[in-house]
Amino acid sequence: MSEVLVLVDEIDGEVKKVTFELLTAAREIGEPAAVVVAAPGTAAKVKESLAAYGAAKVYVAESDDVANYLVTPKVDVLANLVGAKSPAAVLIPATAEGKEIAGRLAVRTGSGLLIEAIGVESSGGDVVGVQSIFGGAFTVKAKSTRGTPVVTVRPGGVEAVQAQGAAAEETVEVPAVDAAKATTVTGREPVVGGDRPELTEASIVVSGGRGVGSAEKFEVVEKLADALGAAVGASRAAVDSGYYPAQFQVGQTGKTVSPQLYVALGISGAIQHRAGMQTSKTIVAVNKDAEAPIFEIADFGVVGDLFAVAPRLTDEVAKRKG
């Protein structure tokens, strides 16, 4: 079976869930080989969890340059591996950085780039990417016509399933950086994640819109989210009004989420908001306007005041959980 390279997404040695999703997807089309391009000492921390999701190999490319330069060190390592190992495909998380790495890798290796896949399949010897486009309005299957297919996979697109892998280590070099073409990283201010699950990873998302009315009152949304063990999301109107930070925006210009349950509180259901959440398995909406378009796609809707309905629901959920 041919190798499938998976670029590992990690922060300070903690592997992101999307990596496990990619390793799971890779098993559909070949033998997963995880690629760790990170600061020295990282591979030792992540190896065990990569093995638990079926990584047969782990390529270890460690250097201080990885943190000091933007994007290019990862491209350099992957390009060398594509040349040396002739993998069946390269899978990269469809994060802001991942999309850029994938784009440059496709240019460098003259390969087709399949973007935002929600799965990969093997068909007649080809690697086929499954894409969900225009906010889920179309499902598309596409393949690369040249080179080694480079596929970006959307976080949450594939369900991670464990499988034991050998995780045989092989050290590879991080090539020297060409300073004239590179971008230096002079500092970082990482967002500090709270206790809630990440928006794109959560199985339940509770979102608030303009109807919530203020930043203080967003507490109503947060309380329900915490009772459900959910992530908190927001509409763009809520973000633009300063009720909630921008990284929580759901929709066309925000996150695409596809949880088991999406609860929309005080959100009208504009087409751009729907583009980011309409592939959720179950949608529940609370809105005081019976004509709000969100009800057209909601599995269960309550016409009413969110400040009456949401706290009551929070209590019911808490009671049930005991």
> By the 8 A CB rule, do 106 and 112 touch?
yes
Q: Which stretch binds another protein (CB under 8 A): 22-30, 48-56, 213-221, 247-255?
A: 247-255
Give the tokens for residue 311: 């706290």
Helices 72-85 & 96-109 angle (0-180, nearest 10): 50
* Residue 214 binding ligand FAD, by CB under 6 A: no
Euclidean distance between CA atoms 163 and 236, whole angstroms: 39
237 interface partner picked from ligand FAD, another protein, none, CB below 5 to 8 A per type: ligand FAD
Site string for ligand FAD, 116-155 (x = CB under 6 A): -----------------x--------x-------------
| Of residues 54 and 119, the one with the C-beta less far from ligand FAD | 119
Residue 29 annotated in ligand binding: no
φ/ψ (deg, to 5) at 163: -165, 140
Residue 86 annotated in ligand binding: no
* Residue 237 binding ligand FAD, by CB under 6 A: yes
- CA 46, 102, 166, 60 dihedral sign is negative
Of 30, 155, 211, 259, the one binding ligand FAD (CB under 6 A) is: 211
Query: Where in 182-211 is the site for another protein (CB under 8 A)?
Result: 182-191, 204
Residue 253 annotated in ligand binding: yes
- CA–chain centroid gap for 98, Å, is 10
Residue 131 annotated in ligand binding: no
* Nearest residue to 111 via CA among 193, 5, 265: 5
Query: Where in 96-155 is the site for another protein (CB under 8 A)?
Result: 96-97, 99-104, 106-108, 110-116, 128, 133-134, 136-147
67: how many CB neighbours lie within 10 A of its CB? Answer: 12
Region of residue 125 (left: phi > 0; alpha: psi -120 to 50; beta: else): left
What are the strands, taking DSSP E only, across 16-95?
A: 31-38, 57-62, 89-93
220: Cβ–Cβ under 8 A, 6 or more apart, which residues? 208, 212, 265, 306, 307, 310, 311
* Residue 34 binding another protein, by CB under 8 A: no
Q: Which stretch binds ligand FAD (CB under 6 A): 45-53, 67-75, 155-163, 243-251?
A: 243-251
* Residue 305 binding another protein, by CB under 8 A: yes
Minimum distance from residue 113 beta carbon to ligand FAD (Å): 5
DSSP 147: S
Of 80, 95, 122, 241, the one binding another protein (CB under 8 A) is: 95
* Residue 1 binding another protein, by CB under 8 A: no
* Residue 253 binding ligand FAD, by CB under 6 A: yes
Q: Give me the residue label for tokens 């491209």.
A: 75
Residues that bind ligand FAD (CB under 6 A): 113-115, 133, 142, 209-211, 235-238, 249-254, 266-268, 270, 272-273, 276, 286-289, 292, 305-307
